[in-house]
Amino acid sequence: MASPHNLNLASQGTSLKALFSGYLMVVAVGYLMALVQIQMTHGLADGKLGLSVDDIVYSYYGNRNNSLLENKLHGSMKPMASDEDRAAIITWIHQGATEESFEATGIKQIFEANCIPCHNADSGMPIPDYTEFKNIKERALVDTGASFSSLARVSHIHLFGIAFIFMFVGLIFSLAAGVPKALKVGVIITPYAFLIVDITSWWLTKLNPNFAYLVIIAGGAMAFSFAFMWCVSMYEMWILPRKGPDSRDALLDE
């Protein structure tokens, strides 16, 4: 084990420990919410609960046996319409998805009742505007997964946002005194390395579905490193007793 250094988590005053702990608890809840969001979007791509390799493939490469609209109706959008309405839309797609039949067969009314309340220009969400028929028509074609433009948009958001999260989590963890130096450096650098791998694997899966396994591996490595740094940091601040040069601050807190 590494010998304790002068500046460590356990020797900090209560105020600084509270600051670090508050941040760690909030980002932990944020991480859990991100996992829920992944489950509600990618995790239902194959129509089954739980994230699988097929979900990753369908999200990025696409399910090229059907149209995107049909895949969504079988997957994440299944609860948004009745069985009868979903069957009517799928039949319309199989019959050519023409604008004439869209209005003549009542499909337009189904979209207005079930889809357009969210899928409109004023929703503020990154979803297609179904008030325009051309957007519906585009999604009635073969499902080729995420577009390159959407991948570019999401990639830069993740690279900036997640890098900042791990910078502060890693900064707090770097003050842990009970972790060997080699292990500490490895854990701190792991999320950055696998963040690059994760983003890269999205683009590779778009081109070849076999890279879907890499998405899961990268995501798992980031989650493991986050959990390790979080648990060690909280343990050293509140459970592991250690006196250090800052112990007088602790006395003042008392």
Q: pLDDT by residue (tens digit) across 197-240?
A: 999 999 999 999 999 999 999 999 999 999 999 999 999 999 97
Q: Quick one: DSSP state of residue 67?
A: B
Task: Please write the tens of the pLDDT for every residue from 5-19.
Answer: 467 898 888 999 999
Over the stretch 85-130, which tens digit does the pLDDT of each residue have?
A: 888 988 898 888 888 888 888 899 999 998 988 898 887 777 888 8
| 245 vs 83, more confident | 83
Rounded CA gap, 209 and 82, in Å?
A: 31
Assess whether pLDDT exceeds 80 at residue 192.
yes
State the pLDDT at residue 175. 94
Q: Do residues 8 and 244 lie in contact, with contact meaning Cβ atoms separated by under 8 Å?
A: yes
Q: Report pLDDT for 242.
A: 61
- Please give the pLDDT value at position 145: 85
Cα–Cα distance, 160 to 215 (Å, whole number): 18
Q: Which has the higher per-residue pLDDT, 157 or 248?
A: 157
pLDDT of 245 over the 50 cut: no
Regarding pTM above 0.85, the answer is: no
d(CA 46, CA 57): 9
How far is CA 41 from each of CA 17, 48, 67, 78, 167, rounded to the nearest angstrom? Answer: 36, 11, 17, 12, 27
> Can you list the pairs that 218-222 forms with residues at least 24 positions away whose Cβ atoms lie under 8 Å?
218/194, 219/194, 221/190, 221/191, 221/194, 221/197, 222/162, 222/190, 222/191, 222/194, 222/195, 222/198
Average pLDDT value for residue range 37-53 = 79
Largest CA distance in the chain: 80
Task: For residue 187, name the pLDDT band (cuts at 50, 70, 90).
Answer: very high
Q: Is 33 helix (H, G, I), strand (E, B) or coil?
A: helix
Q: Which amino acid is at 1?
A: M
β-sheet bridge partners, residue 142: 67
